[in-house]
Amino acid sequence: MLKLLALLQDGRFHSGEALGATLGVSRAAVWKQLQELEAEAGLVVHGVRGRGYRLVNPLILLEREQLSDNPGGWQPWVFDSIDSTNAEAFRLMESGRAQLPFFVVAERQTAGRGRRGRQWVSPFAENLYYSLLLRIEGGAAQLDGLSLVVGLAVRAALFELGVTSVGLKWPNDLLVSGQKIAGILLEMSGDPADVCHVVIGIGVNVNMNNAVEVGQPWTSMRNELGRLVDRNALINSLNAQLHRFLAKHQQLGFSSVRNEWEAAHLWQGREVTLVSGATEIHGQVLGVDARGALRLLVDGVERQFSGGELSLRLRDDS
């Protein structure tokens, strides 16, 4: 089925006879595969008598060969459909089949996750679903500010591909004009006091232009740029930026990029509400500390907050 999709990905008409000849199957078999594409991948195929078939929305499939040459020498694992790239990264590590560090990407996730257990909408071959697995020596203290550093890397990759209006929102989101374009989810396994492993999960809205199931304002690279974006090029840029920022974080800590992060923070100086369960704390964003914790001015007193279950909202956001 993917061989057929590769032939159709340009969005142009292809006759059933030509498709069958290339694939070595009958026109009837081509028709059956087209129906499977629509049913299983949620793609819309347009057929016109005398002209053939085309995808209503052209796409660019992931190509493993284009992803192998990266600065970190990270091995790519490319899947058509999996439950979650984060979950698959941990499974590959536990099975011993993958040499660390490595990254996992997929055309589609069936159980993608965001922060606080939220679903990450994952349409087929439209967005980036990416997970990088690292071994961490010296315990979880080495992870201070890591998600914020990853945010800077993602932002730099989006800049490189033309989305220059993107900024950061503490702790793990990237926004354009108040709309979410990317998110980060870090998960850890192992001994937090010694050797552990962390998977850096990154989701980017790349070519998505319709998703009614997303429960918050969102945009995509395609919406911002007005053109189809090659996800392979995005992954290569992301790998280069991650390699650069992670090396700096490992050598010098988060404090080395703290000023850069604050300069990119969209809500710097804004009045916000910090939500933790049923508790709400109102304050003004002062920035972040040397470990990446949020600094808030609350009733005239500076306080610091960190943790994966916290959510930040603008005070004037209805």
Residue 262 tokens, joined: 């604050």
Q: Is 242 helix (H, G, I), strand (E, B) or coil?
A: helix
- Which listed CATH number (3.40.630.10, 1.10.1040.10, 1.10.10.10, 1.10.3470.10) goes with 2-55? 1.10.10.10
Query: Which pLDDT does position 37 carry in this prediction?
Result: 82
CB–CB of 306/313 below 8 Å? no
Angle CA 139–143–148, to nearest 5:
175
Q: Which of 180, 222, 231, 258 is catalytic?
A: 180
Which of 94-108, 113-127, 240-254, 257-271 is the least confident region? 113-127
Is the predicted pLDDT of residue 116 greater than 60, yes or no?
Answer: no
pLDDT tens per residue, range 23-70: 999 888 988 889 888 888 888 898 898 899 998 888 999 999 999 999
Q: Residue with structure tokens 């996750």?
A: 113
Mean pLDDT of 163-167: 97
Q: What is the CATH number of domain 64-262?
A: 3.30.930.10
Catalytic residue among 244, 248, 270, 313: 313
Residue type, 248: K
Residue 162 predicted with pLDDT over 50: yes
Is the pLDDT at 236 greater than 90, yes or no?
A: yes
Q: Which of 115, 155, 222, 258 is catalytic?
A: 115
* Residue of 16, 106, 3 lying closest to 54 (CA atoms): 16
Please, are residues 65 and 236 in contact by the beta-carbon 8 Å criterion?
Answer: no
Distance between CA atoms of residues 97 and 94, nearest Å: 8
Distance CA 88, CA 75 (A): 14
d(CA 246, CA 252): 10
- Residue range 211-220, pLDDT digits in tens: 656 667 899 9
Domain boundaries, the chain: 2-55, 64-262, 267-314
86-101 in b/e burial notation, b at 16+ Cβ within 10 A? Answer: bbbbbebbeeeebeeb
Torsion over CA: 9, 14, 16, 21 (sign):
negative
Residue 78, token pair as written in the block: 């490319």
Architecture of the domain defined by 267-314: Roll (2.30)
User: What does the buried/exposed string (b/e) look like for 108-120 if buried means 16 or more CB atoms within 10 Å of the residue's CB?
Assistant: bbeebbbbeeeeb
The secondary structure of 248-288 as a DSSP string is HHHHH-GGGTHHHHHHHBTTTT-EEEEEETTEEEEEEEEEE
**3 is a catalytic site residue:** no
Mean pLDDT for the stretch of residues 244-261: 95
> Annotated catalytic, 180?
yes
pLDDT at residue 175, as a whole number: 98
- Quote the pTM value: 0.91
Predicted confidence (pLDDT) at residue 19 exceeds the cutoff of 50: yes
- Prior bond to 171 cis, omega within 30? yes
Helix/strand/coil percent split, the chain, to 5: 35, 30, 35
